[in-house]
């Protein structure tokens, strides 16, 4: 090969080397940021890429419903972008809508592809913004169908054993309905990403049911049998994702904590038990809600604040000593309908809860994080409740969320390795 031929090649190679040295790091940074890994657990801690992970996140239950229609789909991306800018890592949302308007499952085994594509969009959009999703699979309440809809379906088809809502847990026909739904959902191939849900690390975990109660069997046996059966079924299809129950956190009739920690007597008579339900072998982490102002009717803010701390510490103690599993507080909030409510109370409530988690993280204890109930976009009054917040309209809440993200990142060292943390926490001391 003559020198005349060699010079253009050398020039090309020099150009390639220059581009690599100039932009190679950016490319590899992009690849690292774009690819999400599966979250696992080691004892009482969540683990991501070999390091502990603590969750600072929120609830936006409405994602799938709003992703169905063109005029409202943008709200999903806007909310995820806002969450990402606050360093939030997990959003909890509904992966169910049984019967009714914009139903995902129209009737047993019949699904609306238009709504499934909306859920595809939610998952793909979450991945774009580097946010993982905790997807809830059915509601104990009637909103979005819930167990009531399953019971009605069985009754309408003439196969139901009982008209009681709690037959959801013990009726063989309804169990088959629910297992069929689980199979279809877990093996769904996302029309946007091409990834089956069970293989998608954008999904942080599955939540079996939102706030399960079985009032017709306060011993807890009926609910426990159902949890054991359904969690084993899910794990037979999907062994990659974490799984939680979706409990409020009340202690059952045989627990000594029913007298010392439960808000009132009624809380032990709901057919659920925090420790027993969370001990189920296929449950990877425990879930708890924090609503003292809804559970007590005669307490002021200061008393509710003290209860919240005691409630959290009790469940983290269970996580450390009894369950040996992480404890994630998947809903918490302060109602603006309380008689003594002042906006500054919400800031104090949030900060107190965040402080408990931060102290637990520093000690490598089981307190694994929190999810605020709930964040919305302006103009969503019909989806709001007495806990809802548009985060960019509340500077103090935004600051608290960002501060919690950054200090949890410092505990694990992620603020040094993760590009997003470096950017949002660079102004932090």
Predicted TM-score (pTM) of the model is: 0.91
Strand 110-111 vs strand 132-136: parallel, antiparallel, or unpaired? unpaired
User: Any idea which residues carry the catalytic annotation?
Assistant: 211, 331
Q: What angle do CA 321, 40, 97 make, to 5 degrees?
A: 100
Q: What is the mean pLDDT of each run of 10 residues along the chain (429 residues)?
A: 47 44 38 70 96 97 97 97 96 97 97 98 97 98 96 94 94 98 98 98 98 98 98 98 98 96 97 98 98 93 98 98 98 95 96 98 97 95 93 93 96 77 72
What is the reported pLDDT for 298?
Answer: 87
Query: Are 251 and 275 spatial neighbours (Cβ–Cβ below 8 Å)?
Result: yes
What is the reported pLDDT for 416?
Answer: 66
| Burial of residue 313, with CB atoms counted within 10 A of its CB: 0-12 exposed, 13-18 middle, 19 or more buried | middle
Cβ atoms within 10 Å of 412's Cβ, excluding its own = 18
Rounded to whole angstroms, what are the CA distances from 27 to 13, 22, 23, 399, 424? 19, 10, 6, 31, 20
Q: How far apart are CA 58 and CA 418, in angstroms?
A: 20
What are 102's two structure tokens?
Answer: 């914009």
For the stretch 259-303, pLDDT in tens is 999 999 999 999 999 999 999 999 999 999 999 999 998 899 999
Residue 109: strand pairing partners: none
Q: How far apart are CA 7 and CA 364, in angstroms?
A: 60
Query: Are 214 and 272 spatial neighbours (Cβ–Cβ below 8 Å)?
Result: yes
Residue 203: strand pairing partners: 133
List of residues 6+ apart from 32 with CB closer than 8 A: 419
Q: What angle do CA 314, 366, 408 make, to 5 degrees?
A: 115
Q: How far apart are CA 227 and CA 164, in angstroms?
A: 19
What SS3 state is found at 402?
helix
Q: DSSP for 148-194?
A: HHHHHHHHHTT--S-SSTTHHHH-HHHHHHHHHHHHHHHTPBPTTT-
Find the Cα–Cα–Cα–Cα dihedral 299, 395, 53, 130, rounded to 10°: 130
List of residues 6+ apart from 360 with CB closer than 8 A: 316, 366, 367
Q: How far apart are CA 284 and CA 280, in angstroms?
A: 9
């Amino acid at each position: 090969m003559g020198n005349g031929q060699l010079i253009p090649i050398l020039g090309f190679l020099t150009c390639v080397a220059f581009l690599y040295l100039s932009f190679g790091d950016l490319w590899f940074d992009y690849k690292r940021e774009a690819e999400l890994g599966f979250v696992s657990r080691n004892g009482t801690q969540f683990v991501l890429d070999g390091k502990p992970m603590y969750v600072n996140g929120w609830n936006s239950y409405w994602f799938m419903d709003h992703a169905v229609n063109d005029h409202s789909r943008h709200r999903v991306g806007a909310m995820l972008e806002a969450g990402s800018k606050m360093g939030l890592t997990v959003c909890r949302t509904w992966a169910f809508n049984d019967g009714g308007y914009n139903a995902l499952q129209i009737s047993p085994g019949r699904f609306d592809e238009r709504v499934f594509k909306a859920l595809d969009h939610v998952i793909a959009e979450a991945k774009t913004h580097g946010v993982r999703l905790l997807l809830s699979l059915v509601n104990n309440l009637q909103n979005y169908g819930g167990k009531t809809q399953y019971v009605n379906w069985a009754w309408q088809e003439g196969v139901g054993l009982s008209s009681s809502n709690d037959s959801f847990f013990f009726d063989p026909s309804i169990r088959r309905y629910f297992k069929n739904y689980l199979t279809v959902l877990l093996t769904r191939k996302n029309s946007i990403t091409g990834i089956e849900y069970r293989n998608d690390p954008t999904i942080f975990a599955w939540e079996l049911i939102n706030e399960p109660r079985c009032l017709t069997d306060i011993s807890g046996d009926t609910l426990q049998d159902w949890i054991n059966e359904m969690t084993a079924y899910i794990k037979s299809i999907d062994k990659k994702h974490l799984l939680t129950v979706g409990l409020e956190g009340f202690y059952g009739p045989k627990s000594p904590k029913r007298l010392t920690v439960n808000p009132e007597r009624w809380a032990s008579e709901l057919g659920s038990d925090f420790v027993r339900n969370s001990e189920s072998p296929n449950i990877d982490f425990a879930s708890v809600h924090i609503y003292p102002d809804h559970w007590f009717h005669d307490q002021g803010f200061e008393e509710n604040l003290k209860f919240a701390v005691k409630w959290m510490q009790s469940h983290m103690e269970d996580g450390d000593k009894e369950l040996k599993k992480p404890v994630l507080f998947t809903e918490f909030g302060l109602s603006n309908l309380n008689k003594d409510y002042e906006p500054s109370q919400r800031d104090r409530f949030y900060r107190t809860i965040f402080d408990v988690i931060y102290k637990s993280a520093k000690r490598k204890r089981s307190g694994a994080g929190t999810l605020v109930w709930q964040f919305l976009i302006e103009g969503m009054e019909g989806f709001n409740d007495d806990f809802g917040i548009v985060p960019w309209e509340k500077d103090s809440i935004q600051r608290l969320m960002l501060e919690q993200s950054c200090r949890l990142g410092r505990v694990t060292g992620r603020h040094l390795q993760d590009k997003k943390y470096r950017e949002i926490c660079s102004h932090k001391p």
